[in-house]
Amino acid sequence: MFPKNTWYVACTPDELEQQPLGRQICGEHMVFFRGPQGEVAAVENYCPHRGAPLSLGRVVDGQLVCGYHGLVMGCDGKTVEMPGQRVRGFPANKNYRAVERYGFIWVWPGDQALADPALIPHLEWAVSDQWAYGGGLFHINCDYRLMIDNLMDLTHETYVHASSIGQKEIDEIAPVTSVVGDEVVTTRHMENIMAPPFWRMALRGNNLADDVPVDRWQICRFTPPSHVLIEVGVAHAGQGGYEADASCKASSIVVDFITPETETSIWYFWGMARNFNPADAELTASIREGQGKIFSEDLEMLEQQQRNLLRHPERQLLKLNIDAGGVQSRKILERLIAAEAAGGGALIASSH
Ligand code: FES
Ligand SMILES: [Fe+2]
């Protein structure tokens, strides 16, 4: 169950460079390509001739040419021509509103009449040259809500990510969860601790000592449908922690856009935006590599957790204090899904 009348990240521009991209999003089989002016387009990944996936074709002059018998389709889903045929009576393909913004391609899988680009959340870090961003994409066989749970409760870092960002102080300090409108925030502050290896690397990347005590914070923000942006960082201890001056901390935003593929699989766009040494491309690359390794540690856990849940659908799960962020996020999603089912549109406002 997922809201469909909302914007999801579908792909990144590099994925469209060579050929059309077939991708299933919220159960809809889509193909993404660039039109005559370079604008991004998305239509059903289905050739009206014999049902071949159009993603196996190629793009010629901004039109999609089916790889089977050469039917040519425009960005609007209408057949333009086909060798030796009159195409006027060919049924049109569904087309999906797609928008390129902030280095991502966003798509609206639900009612196309409601697709309003103004509802795409504003991402300051993506437009400001004070910030640098590096990220990647994983395909994971799990319900998108399991990934939301994972990101809204970072207690698991101690166990899943023991060698990089985990440390025992995480479990010793309970997170605090609050809900404001459609946003859920789970916060944890740890004071006067030693930084774990990933954060030592980040401190060095900001020309700061890495062998002194630090204050560390994690502020996880969920906004519908499935965006989790996490402010994370460390500051030399006693300098104000989260509020400390930029000269004595290394902080960043962990970026997570979780796009359901099916009920039990996702496209997971992960990354990190930082506002220290933004011009240092080598630092961006090493943070990206470190983060990619850390995030890959969650994959097996989530996929096997999903399999267990499918094996035991009747079993109730515990809801502990540490689970509050995920539980509250699910409540908001349930409300939006119910509103959508009742015909309410479930328009999701941009609140980042
Ligand atoms: S199936 Fe696409 S042209 Fe025949
Ligand atoms: Fe994790």
CATH number at residue 153: 3.90.380.10
Tell me, using a 6 A CB cutoff, whether residue 287 lines ligand 1: no
Tell me, using a 6 A CB cutoff, whether residue 101 lines ligand 1: no
Q: What is the model's pLDDT at position 348?
A: 64
pLDDT along the chain (352 residues), means of 10: 97 96 98 97 98 98 98 98 96 98 98 96 96 97 98 93 92 94 96 95 94 97 98 97 95 97 98 94 94 94 97 94 95 95 69 48
- At residue 304's C-alpha, the angle toward residues 303 and 306, to 5°, is 65
Q: What is the model's pLDDT at position 31?
A: 98
Tell me, using a 6 A CB cutoff, whether residue 73 lines ligand 1: no
Tell me, using a 6 A CB cutoff, whether residue 47 lines ligand 1: yes
Domain that holds residue 146: 121-341
Tell me, using a 6 A CB cutoff, whether residue 85 lines ligand 1: no
Ligand 1 atom closest to 50 (CA):
1
**Residues 55 and 15 occupy one common structural domain:** yes
Tokens describing residue 146:
């399991």
**Residues 25 and 67 occupy one common structural domain:** yes
Task: Name the domain count of the chain.
Answer: 2
**Residues 133 and 82 occupy one common structural domain:** no
- Pick from 35, 36, 26, 32: which is nearest to 12 by CA? 32
The SS3 assignment for 7 reads coil
Residue 347 lies in a domain: no
**Residues sharing a CB contact under 8 Å with residue 286, sequence separation 6 or more, in sequence order:** 201, 205
CATH of the domain at 28: 2.102.10.10
Ligand 2 centroid, distance to 159 Cα (angstroms): 9
Q: What is the model's pLDDT at position 217?
A: 97
The ligand with the least distance to the CA atom of 151 is 2
Residue pair 64/43 in contact (Cβ under 8 Å)? The answer is: yes
Ligand 1 centroid, distance to 46 Cα (angstroms): 9
Ligand 1 atom closest to 57 (CA):
2
Q: What is the model's pLDDT at position 352?
A: 47
Residue 351 lies in a domain: no
Residue 346 lies in a domain: no
Residue 3 lies in a domain: no
Tell me, using a 6 A CB cutoff, whether residue 232 lines ligand 1: no
CA distance 14 to 12: 6
Residue pair 329/221 in contact (Cβ under 8 Å)? The answer is: no
Q: Which of 117, 132, 163 corresponds to the end of one domain? A: 117
Q: What does pTM read for this prediction?
A: 0.95
Ligand 1 centroid, distance to 72 Cα (angstroms): 9
Q: Which of 90, 117, 144 corresponds to the end of one domain? A: 117
Tell me, using a 6 A CB cutoff, whether residue 138 lines ligand 1: no
Q: What is the model's pLDDT at position 349?
A: 56
**Residues 97 and 157 occupy one common structural domain:** no
**Residues sharing a CB contact under 8 Å with residue 183, sequence separation 6 or more, in sequence order:** 221, 222, 223, 351
Residue 51 lies in a domain: yes
Q: What is the model's pLDDT at position 197?
A: 94
Q: What is the model's pLDDT at position 69?
A: 97
